[in-house]
Structure 1
């Protein structure tokens, strides 16, 4: 007969302390798990979500954009004119999501769509003059916020973290990783 766990006082848990709780509880419940790997992934996921939420709420929502809307404009700005399917790949989004966002961004006067000369089925996306102004202005504010986040680390630490994340993502080639292409 298994012993019932003591009732949990969830009031003391918060966004970050939940990681400690989750690792501790999962380790007790499932002794074969790797708690360090669990802690790494939970911390990375929560940090990324926190950063994205902050950028979206402080920089992009005030401009009327969602995080995905920014990602689409950013991809078009830096690679356009570009096919919609390439924007989906570069932004890590589905083609359907990009299509819906592009319709909204086109309606707002930020994106233009044209049939590609080389293939009448392909759609080339570009930014309008208003779109270029909007994304460059937004990205300056976005980058200022990135600098605030990065300011917690020295330049050497930033470079080390970039290298470690690169190593982590490069390692994914060794197993069947699911991601948008």
Structure 2
């Protein structure tokens, strides 16, 4: 039997820790384990939400994030949408075009700066995001119901601390 037979991701994290210790010696194994686990958990939840909620509606997770931000913060300039979604301006532009073509978003001239535009929801877009959010939030609740309300708050606090305690110049970029 090979050393990797029967591995799943979580047992791989343990294998990686043992092998890193043997191959590179002194390293921060706890930091490596935390970030491997954080990334994996994020990937699993994102994949599930996209597969269960967004793809069946003909959208992507990224499109949902953009429409969600426009819904709650809009009308909004694309550069601000990029900041709030964690996407590049080019990604926002590429996502906005089909959403405008599909009648979900409206792209209008910025009344304060004629060189810029604002993104806002159409009536159909507002109906779509409200329905999609309800489905998404139901799935979110199913994900976190294994945690007590106190554990949920602790996790949010820890993630906030992780992201805000250090300034590596990446906080506001994707």
**What is the TM-score when the length of structure 1 is the normalising length?**
0.91
Aligned mate of 1:140, from 134, 141, 145: 134
- In structure 1, C-alpha distance between the alignment counterparts of 2:122 and 2:62, rounded to whole Å: 19
CA distance in 1: counterparts of 2:77 and 2:152, whole angstroms: 33
In the TM superposition, structure 1's runs of 4+ consecutive aligned residues that sit over 6 Å from their partners are: none
Q: Which residue of 2 aligns with 1:159?
A: 153
For 1:167 and 1:178, locate their aligned partners in 2 and report how far apart those are by CA, in whole Å: 15
1:46 aligns with 2:40: yes
What stretches of structure 1 of length at least 5 have no aligned partner? 1-6
Once the two structures are superposed, the pairs formed by residues 115-134 of structure 1 within 5 Å of their partners are 115-134=109-128
- TM-score for both structures, normalised by structure 2: 0.95
1:149 aligns to what?
143
Q: Which residue of the partner structure matches residue 3 of structure 1?
A: none
- Equivalent in the alignment of 2:13: 19
Per-residue deviation, 1:38: 0.7
1:85 and 2:79 are equivalent in the alignment:
yes
Supply the distance in 1 between the matched residues of 2:61 and 2:18 (Cα, whole angstroms).
Answer: 33
Q: Greater Rg, structure 1 or structure 2?
A: 1
> Alignment partner of 2:17: what SS?
helix
Inter-partner Cα distance in structure 1 for 2:162 and 2:54: 29
Partner of 1:178: 170
Q: How much has 1:163 moved relative to structure 2? A: 1.1
Aligned to 2:67: 73
